[in-house]
Amino acid sequence: MSENRPRPASAPDDEPGALIPFALRTVRQLVALDAEHGATAAVPAVREAVRTVRQLSADPDRLRGHDSDLLAALAELCEVVGWILFDAGFYGRAHRMNARALALAELCGDRGMARLVLLNDSMLDAHTGRPGRALESAARVAGPRPLPARVSSLVLIRQAHASALLGGRREAVDLISRAQSRFLDGVSADDPHWAWWIDQTELLGHQGWVHARLREWDTAVPLLYEAVTAPGPSYRHLFTAELLAALVGSGAWAEAEDLIVDIAPRAGAIGSVRTTQTLGRTAAQLLGRADAPVNLRDAAAFLLECVPGGPGSP
């Protein structure tokens, strides 16, 4: 795993010709590490990148007037760092890095990166119990021209989650249905380079998750199951955690026990704190359910033992 981490011998030269390729190489390394091993495994590499690239800690206004390609590379690196911090459970730090990424993207006019950062922050706000702010962040993505299909689909996904959290069942169902329609419009030349990960499996998982937020178990469970059984990057373990929560919510005891038996031995290696927190929360709920079978509660106790305790300090 260590060979994937950026391990510079010294800080790169501040000249764009040296710093731009260093930043972009670090982006690729962090993305690969996160996809294969999860966010918690990538945190040491994030720490090293922040120590090495001093511009990641500088006031973005002090970088005004710098080379636009350099600002764009730094914005992308900040975005990736913000995502990893979020999935690793460092929500305050993630929000601050998102703000830095957005400021840098706006300085160099990289509207595509600014949109991704806003959508990341919308997801963070929804996860931390601020659905109103999540809707506001998603709304800021729109511009004077129509959005590319993949970007529009992601905006609708974020809005659907926030609406479901606010209790707007009709709005949430309509939004997630529209997300599917926009996704089916296909890839276009206008799609940003970062849209590669928005695929059918990602959409299925979010569709199921939105319906689970609405407690529509009969719709949620098949969608989440389909997303869980498809191959994908490490961060999609989150859909497994949401599937378990949906199975418990629907009272599907046998299926929930089977899933726990499958996931518990691997839970310690899951590198997403969002995922392990959800698994732990569902297991704790099961322990308090007198109507759950004894063997399922025993399995839940085993899952709690296997789930990591939470994020360490970065």
Q: Is the pLDDT of residue 272 over 70?
A: yes
pLDDT of residue 5: 44
pLDDT of residue 264: 95
Q: Assess if residue 301 is contained within a domain.
A: yes
The mean pLDDT of 1-8, rounded to a whole number, is: 42
pTM of the shown model: 0.89
Of the three residues 109, 133, 153, the one that is the final residue of a domain is 109
Q: Is the pLDDT of residue 224 over 50?
A: yes
Q: Assess if residue 169 is contained within a domain.
A: no
Of the three residues 92, 109, 126, the one that is the final residue of a domain is 109
Q: Assess if residue 176 is contained within a domain.
A: no
For residue 253, what are the contacts with CB-CB under 8 A and spacing of at least 6?
292, 293, 296
Q: Assess if residue 168 is contained within a domain.
A: no
Q: Assess if residue 152 is contained within a domain.
A: no
Cα→Cα distances 52→13, 102, 160, Å:
11, 21, 39
Of the three residues 109, 135, 159, the one that is the final residue of a domain is 109
Measure the CA–CA gap between 101 and 104, rounded to whole angstroms.
5
Q: Would the CA dihedral through 75, 78, 80, 83 be positive or negative?
A: negative
Q: Is the pLDDT of residue 143 over 90?
A: no
Whether 53 contacts 23, CB under 8 Å: yes
Q: Which tens digit of pLDDT belongs to each residue from 10-51?
A: 556 567 678 999 999 999 999 999 988 889 999 999 999 999
Q: Assess if residue 54 is contained within a domain.
A: yes
Q: Assess if residue 282 is contained within a domain.
A: yes
Question: The domain containing residue 82 runs over which residues?
Answer: 1-109
Q: Assess if residue 179 is contained within a domain.
A: no
Domain count, the chain: 2
The mean pLDDT of 83-100, rounded to a whole number, is: 96
